[in-house]
């Protein structure tokens, strides 16, 4: 079905280009005879191949037919795109290379072909060739400069060349402000190496750059909190944790180990920290259960149970139910304990099957938080699930 759809689109594109080219040729007096031309013959030979279920021969014939007519540049570009989308990148490269060699292309046509050829090279991992073509488009001041920057930054990202990625990203973000989210992650990636080497001032600089381009980058906030915690600057770490909670309460569970250390060193009132997160909206069950742990030291089992139950009634959660079961295990008779243990085994099995994170862009499900989606490669697109979809 996909093959037929592709061929149908191919023939349609060819037909449109053929008709436009014929009309232009007749208009300028290039084509005296409207019928029986070489283009006609190639076109019908291609149709014959198509009807005989020889798609590769048909495509080659159609391409040769198009090369007869110099007015079919846009059709060639469309054909190359179709090849690339189909996965036949080698043929797409051939089409775009042949087209780029034509001496009579306009500037915008040549730039369009060069951009598509760079994308072909990128698709097959020929990053050096893709980078060279894209650099030329950027430096030439082409109208396609912004699109070239988008693809150029992909080249550097795939090579994990974060320094060049940020250099290109700084140019791109001027035209496309929404790219700031991605650019901030590039600076965070750069910071990982100096952090590993304990070059903390350099790491702090890169993380501050991340917040310069995206003031809401919670990854940079979390990394700065970890950095300050490592230096025993617990108040500074607590400041970053509070800023993180205000920006994105759903990220608080990932900051809990740091929050507990800051609380242990007197730099953070963790009960107030968790309460403000819970009061800010619909909290994640991890935040609720962390607060319940602190309540257990000061309140009865019944009070803690009511606190958890209050939240899981609003947002049903298997993890919340598991917590309630564990809470009551030591407060029932032997028979009741056996029944609760059976129930616990069932609930725990259901929890293990669940994926608590999902990409908001492509729907990829994950067991753990990824800053970049492994499937669609979007940054900050993976989010914790809530409500009935969560665990």
Q: What is the mean pLDDT of the chain?
A: 83
User: What is the percent of the chain with per-residue pLDDT over 70, rounded to a whole number?
Assistant: 78
Q: Band of the pLDDT at 4, cuts 50, 70, 90?
A: low
Q: Band of the pLDDT at 301, cuts 50, 70, 90?
A: confident
Q: Can you give the residue ranges of every domain in the chain? A: 270-353, 355-391
pLDDT in tens, 163-221: 999 999 999 999 999 999 999 999 999 999 999 999 999 999 999 999 999 999 999 99
Dihedral class, residue 37 (left if φ above 0, else alpha if ψ from -120 to 50, else beta): beta
For residue 391, give both structure tokens: 């665990």
* Lowest model confidence (mean pLDDT) among 70-79, 126-135, 159-168, 302-311: 70-79
The pTM (predicted TM-score) of the whole model is: 0.78
pLDDT at 64 (0 to 100): 59
pLDDT surpassing 70 at residue 33: no
Q: Band of the pLDDT at 299, cuts 50, 70, 90?
A: confident
pLDDT in tens, 316-375: 888 888 988 888 888 888 888 888 888 889 888 888 878 889 999 999 999 899 999 999
For residue 208, give both structure tokens: 């501050």
pLDDT surpassing 70 at residue 46: no
Which of 21, 116, 7 has the alpha carbon at shortest distance from 57?
Answer: 7
pLDDT at 30 (0 to 100): 39
* Lowest model confidence (mean pLDDT) among 81-90, 136-145, 177-186, 367-376: 81-90
Report how far residue 115's alpha carbon sits from residue 130's, in angstroms, rounded to the nearest whole number. Answer: 9
């Amino acid at each position: 079905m996909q093959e037929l759809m592709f061929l149908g689109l191919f023939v349609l594109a060819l037909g449109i280009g053929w008709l436009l080219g014929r009309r232009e040729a007749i208009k300028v007096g290039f084509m005296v005879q409207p019928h029986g031309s070489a283009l006609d013959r190639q076109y019908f030979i291609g149709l014959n191949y198509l009807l005989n279920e020889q798609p590769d021969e048909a495509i080659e014939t159609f391409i040769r037919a198009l090369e007869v007519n110099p007015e079919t540049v846009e059709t060639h570009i469309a054909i190359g795109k179709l090849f690339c989308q189909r996965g036949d990148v080698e043929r797409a490269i051939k089409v775009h290379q042949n087209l780029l060699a034509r001496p009579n292309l306009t500037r915008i046509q040549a730039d369009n072909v060069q951009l598509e050829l760079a994308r072909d090279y990128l698709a097959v991992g020929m990053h050096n060739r893709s980078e060279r073509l894209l650099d030329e488009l950027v430096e030439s001041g082409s109208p396609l400069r912004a699109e070239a920057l988008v693809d150029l930054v992909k080249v550097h990202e795939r090579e994990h060349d974060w320094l060049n990625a940020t250099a290109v990203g700084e140019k791109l973000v001027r035209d496309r402000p929404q790219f700031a989210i991605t650019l901030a992650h590039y600076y965070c990636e750069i910071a990982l190496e100096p952090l590993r080497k304990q070059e903390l001032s350099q790491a702090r600089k890169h993380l501050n750059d991340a917040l310069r381009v995206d003031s809401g980058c919670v990854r940079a906030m979390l990394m700065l909190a970890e950095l300050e915690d490592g230096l025993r600057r617990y108040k500074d770490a607590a400041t970053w944790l509070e800023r993180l909670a205000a920006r994105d309460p759903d990220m608080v569970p990932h900051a809990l180990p740091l929050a507990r250390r800051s609380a242990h060193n007197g730099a953070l009132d963790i009960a107030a920290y968790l309460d403000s997160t819970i009061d800010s909206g619909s909290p994640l069950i991890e935040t609720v259960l962390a607060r319940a742990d602190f309540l257990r030291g000061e309140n009865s089992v019944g009070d803690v149970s009511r606190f958890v139950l209050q939240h899981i009634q609003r947002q049903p959660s298997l993890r919340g139910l598991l917590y309630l079961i564990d809470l009551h295990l030591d407060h029932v008779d032997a028979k009741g304990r056996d029944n609760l243990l059976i129930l616990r085994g069932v609930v725990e099995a259901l929890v293990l099957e669940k994926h608590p994170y999902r990409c908001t862009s492509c729907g990829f499900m994950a067991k753990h938080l990824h800053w970049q989606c492994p499937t669609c490669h979007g940054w900050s697109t993976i989010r914790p699930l809530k409500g009935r979809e969560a665990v």
